[in-house]
Structure 1
Amino acid sequence: MKKYNIVFLYILGLLLIPVPELLAQDAAKIDPEHYKVELENDQVRVLRIQYKPGEKSKMHSHPEGVVVFLTDSKGKMKTPDGKVHDLDEKAGKVLWTGPSSHEPANAGDNAFEIIQVELKQAVPSKKSLHLFELPEEVTEKELSDFLKEMNQAISEEGFTNAGYHLYKIPGDNSENYQYFMEGVWPDAATYDKVHNSEKWKAMAEKGKTMIDKIRANELYLKAEKVE
């Protein structure tokens, strides 16, 4: 029982640490002078971004999405690691951008204006959690590669927002579980559909020997989102 309590406290501690990359600052909330919400629904949020020469923002983050430059735009983008990157784009340029954290500044002689379309990710309502030690006969790479194949099979069945994620707890955790695997599912219906799909069953059969070795000594939990 002590072993279980320690690992859950450790995971809870990871969730509560205010790491800038994880607990991102919302640009529209901390810097409404430069970021205006033009449209928002369950799928997207559209920001109008305007900077006058010499103006800069506060450190904030954006999810993945699309950026449209309405004007020529020159700036400096400071990232959380202290590095500074130049921004120099022409009016009409359209870019796809992944999740990012930065502190922008207008480094040009003119004001610039940008539209940023942020994509929203649906919050999963059902998760499964496997806490385990990696068996001697199974390598970390073997398990990671298998989960990538499994996620590809799930995606090919049409469930792009479901799948498995492998985590390794850093440091010396000889008295605790060293690994945990998270299964993410939008809802209970998707969970059932995935586990009844032919491609999932085929992959489960392919990895049965390895997964059975892991299950021989694991803590397995299911959780549902509290509304």
Structure 2
Amino acid sequence: MIHRKLMLVVLLFSIFMMFDLKAQDATRIDPEHYKVELENDQVRVLRIKYNPGDESKMHTHPEGVAVFLTDHSAKMKAGNGGEMQLDGNAGDVLWVDRAQHQPKNTGQNTFELIQVELKNSTAGKKSLHLFKLPDGVSEKQLRDFLQEMNTAISDEGYPNAGYHLYRITDDHNEYKYFMEGVWPDAATYDKIHESKSWKAAADKGRDMIEKIQAQELYLKAERVK
């Protein structure tokens, strides 16, 4: 049993390391099979369920843990065009690296699992913003805009990257809000900011962001390894 599980982990790792960054978030492009059960700043918990013969669309997941609730038999297409047959039992618990894949249930029974996706756990680069809300800009306007930006970033294949807004609770005359941008690494930061979907979303809030940028404290930071 241990040998079989180790082999399964190796197969999953091999598939998950071969991803195309253009794939999308599973919950957006395949809500029939992927349902968000819980989400906060640290994790997103998905319930995944495939009936016999069901097949998904190519999508991505950040790193996390998969807990299989049933026996399973699936064919996994990888982003590089390869594919692998994966079989396992109810109770299997696997660590999964960031992945692009397209699963299909090749068994005779429905299979179900819980996948816990980690957020910000591999952030190698952050952008940090301290500011007051400019005249004519409300907290709700900024929050809604950032949610739209995060949707565009998720659609680029990075559901664990994006922006988080915090209200500063200490008395501070100069800054009232803190915004954090989280990115896997510098190359990903550049790729996202050059993407058409990010630019289109950013254009919608350009006036608001320019007002914030005129008086913010802005820093870029990379993780010390």
State TM-score, norm by structure 1.
Answer: 0.49
Bigger Rg, structure 1 or 2: 1
State TM-score, norm by structure 2.
Answer: 0.49
